[in-house]
Amino acid sequence: MFSQISLLLLLLLCAYTFHRSTCDTNLQLLCNEKDRYALQIFKLGVVNHSNMLPSWSTEQDCCAWKGVHCDNTTGRVTRLDLHQQYLEGEINLSLFQIQFLNYLDLSLNGFTTLSAPSPTNITFSNVHFLDLSFNEDLHFDNLNWLNQLSSLKYLNLSQINLQNETNWLQSMTLHPSLIELRLASCHLTNISPSMKYANFSSLLTLDLSGNHFVSELPYWLFNITTISNIDLSFNLLQGPIPKSLLSLRNLECLKLNDNEINGSIPEWLGQHEQLQYLGLSENLFQGSIPSSIGNVSSLVELGISSNLLSGNLPTSLGQLFNLKSLSIGGESLSGVLHENHFSNLSNLEELVLRASFSFDLASNWTPPFQLKGITLSNANLGPKFPEWIYTQHSLEYLEVPNSNISSVKGDFFWRFVANITQLNLSKNTISADLTNITLKSTILFMDHNYFTGGLPHISANVIYLDLSHNSFYGPISPLFCHKLGKESSLDYLDISSNFLTAGIPDCWEYWKGLSFLFMQNNKLTGGVPQSMASFIDIIILDLSNNSLSGKFLLDLSNLTNLEYINLKGNNLCGDVPTRMPRGMEVMLLGSNQLEGNIPPQLCNLSSLIQLDLSHNKLSGPMPPCFSDIPSLAGAQRTTHYPFQINLYTKGQELEYRDYGLLRTLDLSCNNLSGEIPPQVFSLVQLQTLNLSRNHLTGKISRDIGSMKNLESLDLSSNKLFGEIPTSISSLSFLSFLNLSNNEFTGQIPPGTQLMTFNASSYAENPGLCGTPLPITCTKGSGNVDGSKQHGGSNDDAFETGSLYLGMGVGFAVGFWGLWGSLFLNRTWRQTYTRFLNHVADQIYVFVVVKCNNLRGTR
């Protein structure tokens, strides 16, 4: 018994001693002082607005700092991982002085500069993993600082600007140990297509997607026999796929989509037995899809599309039993798909067919797969919704736009799609009454159909809903005033181009998160309720082409996100609204009953790029302050929403797919008077200027020549006079011009640009002459009469007066330059007098001699 107790005590003593020894050891393993110093130098250049590095203090062991990993035995820093920490500022490569650092990840931040230490201080040969990707404002002029990374195996510089580094490939070949190289979206242009060999003896993955390579596929690529993953998508690569691709026997992934590769898709691709991912979509391939691809049983993803492909889908694709994603597209592809096209696709999860295929499937056919996603656009599925789709119980998205579907199974269909996240039924001919239907999908495209009845209800989880271009009728209040129980997630709502009536309801308490609201082209009446000013997130608001009336009294100045408002084609009255956010870009108020002057407060909208006040009852002068709007006068905006807009310009209604690229000013069809302020002609970014059908007078300023971006100019039906400035002929982008129905005089300025317009552009100006008018200009035609009529001289008269004035000044300077000098300097005056006397004597002698000779001859 005693011996057992002694043994137990001995064991406890040993355990305690071991524990204390271990604790003491851990206490001694503090961060190396050199490593700490290098980390602190790095931190000095970091801008940390989000305070993501609070632990980086001198009071804590640097091995406990966020993102820092130390070796458990030596205490030396081996890894630094600070990806996606919202850091900015400078990357100081003092980090590479950390002797045992082998892993560095600073990706997904906002660093803008890189500071490299002198070569004598670089000791970073142990680094084998380096990821600086997705620091989008970071750029390198060269990659020389990478030369010391002799152990580098993984390098990712994607989304970093390397456009000045033309020898990037030679720099990369200095790292023969590279296993993975990613340089996606780096603005690279030179892929060295003629280079025969690149020293990548260990490379497995190469990602050069999203650059600007304009060449054929490079030779050196097909000599990297170790490579298994190639991504060259989203470039401008050309030419056919070379047969030398067969030398890459280890190839598992080949992505060449979104290029300009042409020729046929080669039959020998079927010999790549290990290929799992093949992306050939969005190229210029011709001919048919080869059946040999069906032999590549290892394929997991297959994407092929080109508008030049033709023929049917080969039935051999139905043998790809490992296939999970199949995407085929092309405007010229056609044919009938049968059950054997899908017979062995038991693992298929995603089916995308964007072509005019027809389906010949038995009504009771049960597919061998359960899909997560279906896209069958531009197909011939109808007229009934396909029965086999009802067998797919795992669908996350269902897209069947423009597929000739006209009928669905009523409530059964809506119950089936209730749990589908994304539903796209647009551009079919589906006719169904949705009055009592509740839509539950998160994203819904149901536009361009024949849906009828009242607007459907929607659940609180709907984010995107497009019901435009249907036949819905009745009031919109059942949709907006339907009690949801909680605030809606709806961000985008389009109910435009229907037959909706009654007023805009005043119940928006559940819809404050709306960012995009389109209700144009309906029959809505009444005023705009004040509660709509509570849309704190609204970006685009379109209520145009309804029958709204009354004064627009909303104070929208606090809606800081609002960029676009369209109230055209209503019966709104009162003054032009001015309580708008300063970030407003598009303000369309034309075709209403607005009165009064154009308020100068509009000039405070510093981001304004489109202003339409046409077809109203505005009067008074044009404010000269338009030149104070930076976005029209010279500033270039680079961020905007690429949203479609219909705009009256160039004499017709045109559709533009990106309103942010337009700069327009339309004040036509009002009662504006006075002269056009000269400042208007300094709006160098303006593309469309329409001041027609007003009572404007005066001349066109010669500064119009500075409007270098002007494409459409309409000053017709005013009272403008004088000559057309010759500077207008320098507007090289001008494609529409209307100066008719004014009082212009003189010759139409010569110039290639102005000669392209027909006579209607200058009609009803009796004093005009010259091409393209049938009136030939005569000497002095138009000038004198026009000047007398308006009590002033035209441009030519001004130039003539300037010539006479210059002659007079020149004579005076010459006269007093000579006689003033003689008058003031006595010595010069005496010398000049002697010179004149000498000349007179010479002339006298010459005349006398000639006369005497003449007498002797006679």
Check residue 52 and give its pLDDT. Answer: 80
Query: How far is the C-alpha of 99 from the C-alpha of 157, rounded, in Å?
Result: 23
Query: How far is the C-alpha of 506 from the C-alpha of 327, rounded, in Å?
Result: 46
Mean pLDDT of the chain: 85
* Higher per-residue confidence, 295 vs 844: 295
Instruction: Give the other-Cβ count within 10 Å of 385's Cβ.
Output: 21
pLDDT of 178 higher than 50: yes
Tokens encoding 544? 């145009």
3-state secondary structure of 305: strand
pLDDT of 844 higher than 60: no
- Those residues with Cβ within 8 angstroms of residue 504's Cβ, 6 or more apart along the chain or in another chain: 476, 519, 524, 526, 527, 528, 529, 532, 543, 548
Number of H helices, E strands in the chain: 10, 49
Instruction: Give the whole-number percent of the chain exceeding pLDDT 70.
Output: 83
The DSSP result for 420-468, as a single string, is -SEEE--SS----B-TT-EE--SEEE--SS--BSSPPEE-TT--EEE--
Contact 676, 701 (CB under 8 A): yes
Check residue 697 and give its pLDDT. Answer: 97
Angle (nearest 5°) at CA 369 between 364 and 370: 100
Query: How far is the C-alpha of 735 from the C-alpha of 754, rounded, in Å?
Result: 9
Instruction: Give the other-Cβ count within 10 Å of 299's Cβ.
Output: 22
Over range 454-469, report the average pLDDT.
94
Contact 715, 691 (CB under 8 A): yes
Query: Per-residue pLDDT tens for 723-765?
Result: 999 999 888 899 999 999 999 999 999 876 777 889 999 999 9
Check residue 488 and give its pLDDT. Answer: 83
Query: How far is the C-alpha of 552 from the C-alpha of 204, rounded, in Å?
Result: 64
3-state secondary structure of 753: helix
Query: How far is the C-alpha of 665 from the C-alpha of 668, rounded, in Å?
Result: 9
Query: How far is the C-alpha of 715 from the C-alpha of 695, rounded, in Å?
Result: 11
Query: Per-residue pLDDT tens for 556-567?
Result: 988 999 999 999
Query: How far is the C-alpha of 185 from the C-alpha of 161, rounded, in Å?
Result: 8
Q: Distance between the two ends of the chain, CA-based, in angstroms?
A: 176
CA dihedral 121, 126, 128, 130 (to 10 degrees): -30
pLDDT of 10 higher than 80: no
CA dihedral 475, 418, 461, 639 (to 10 degrees): -90
Break the chain into its structural domains and give their ranges: 476-800, 825-858
Query: How far is the C-alpha of 292 from the C-alpha of 798, rounded, in Å?
Result: 80
Q: What is the model's pTM?
A: 0.79
495 phi/psi in degrees, rounded to 5: -120, 25
Check residue 813 and give its pLDDT. Answer: 42
- Those residues with Cβ within 8 angstroms of residue 620's Cβ, 6 or more apart along the chain or in another chain: 596, 597, 598, 672, 673, 674
Over range 214-235, report the average pLDDT.
95
Query: How far is the C-alpha of 258 from the C-alpha of 280, rounded, in Å?
Result: 8
Lowest mean pLDDT across 108-112, 231-235, 529-533: 529-533
pLDDT of 26 higher than 50: no
Contact 429, 406 (CB under 8 A): yes
pLDDT band at 51 (very low <50, low <70, confident <90, very high): confident
Check residue 668 and give its pLDDT. Answer: 96
Q: Closest Cα partner for 288 from 355, 239, 340? A: 355
Query: Per-residue pLDDT tens for 606-616?
Result: 889 999 999 99
Tokens encoding 504? 């805009």
Check residue 22 and give its pLDDT. Answer: 41
Angle (nearest 5°) at CA 590 between 585 and 592: 135
Instruction: Give the other-Cβ count within 10 Å of 162's Cβ.
Output: 22
Over range 214-233, report the average pLDDT.
95
Peptide bond into 314 cis (omega under 30): no
Instruction: Give the other-Cβ count within 10 Å of 708's Cβ.
Output: 13
- Determine the residue type at 344: N
pLDDT of 653 higher than 80: no
Class of domain 476-800: alpha beta
pLDDT band at 485 (very low <50, low <70, confident <90, very high): low
Query: How far is the C-alpha of 686 from the C-alpha of 676, rounded, in Å?
Result: 15
Over range 219-245, report the average pLDDT.
95
Radius of gyration of the chain (CA): 39
